[in-house]
């Protein structure tokens, strides 16, 4: 799904970075050698490609599953599910290090 409607094409795939990238959600650098997710979508005739670090991808999938609604790519949307205690199974991600997230894959 794309923001508030369904995409014509939506594809997620995991990759291992051959160079540095910027996560579209948290704006942190995805370092060379780290695993990340590439999301490609076609919506209203326009293609978009986003790269997400594993932590942000896990949070966004969990929040979408909890709310049943699509989640805007940036984590700074101000939606209620981000408040502490709303999605307890994801709270641990606030303290997971980059190395721990990479090792979990």
Full-model pTM: 0.67
CB 38 within 8 A of CB 5: no
* 3 domain residue, yes or no: no
* 4 domain residue, yes or no: no
CB 56 within 8 A of CB 42: no
Say whether pLDDT at 75 is over 50: no
Q: pLDDT tens for residues 19-69?
A: 999 999 888 999 999 999 999 989 889 999 999 999 888 888 887 777 777
At residue 83's C-alpha, the angle toward residues 85 and 104, to 5°, is 70
CATH (domain of 80): 3.30.1740
- Which residues form the domain of 68? 9-103
- 71, with CB counted inside 10 A (0-12, 13-18, 19+), is buried
* 41 domain residue, yes or no: yes
Q: pLDDT tens for residues 37-51?
A: 999 989 889 999 999
Q: Which helix (H) or strand (E) holds 103?
A: helix 98-103
């Amino acid at each position: 799904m794309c923001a508030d409607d369904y995409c014509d094409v939506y594809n997620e795939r995991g990759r291992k970075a051959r160079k540095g990238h910027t996560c579209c959600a948290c704006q942190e650098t995805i370092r060379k050698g780290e695993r990340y997710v590439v999301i490609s979508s076609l919506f209203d005739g326009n293609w978009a490609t986003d790269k997400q670090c594993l932590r942000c991808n896990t949070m966004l999938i969990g929040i979408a599953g909890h709310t049943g609604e699509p989640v805007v790519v940036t984590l700074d949307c101000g939606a209620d599910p981000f408040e502490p205690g709303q999605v307890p199974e994801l709270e641990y991600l606030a303290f997971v290090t980059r190395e721990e997230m990479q090792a979990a894959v």
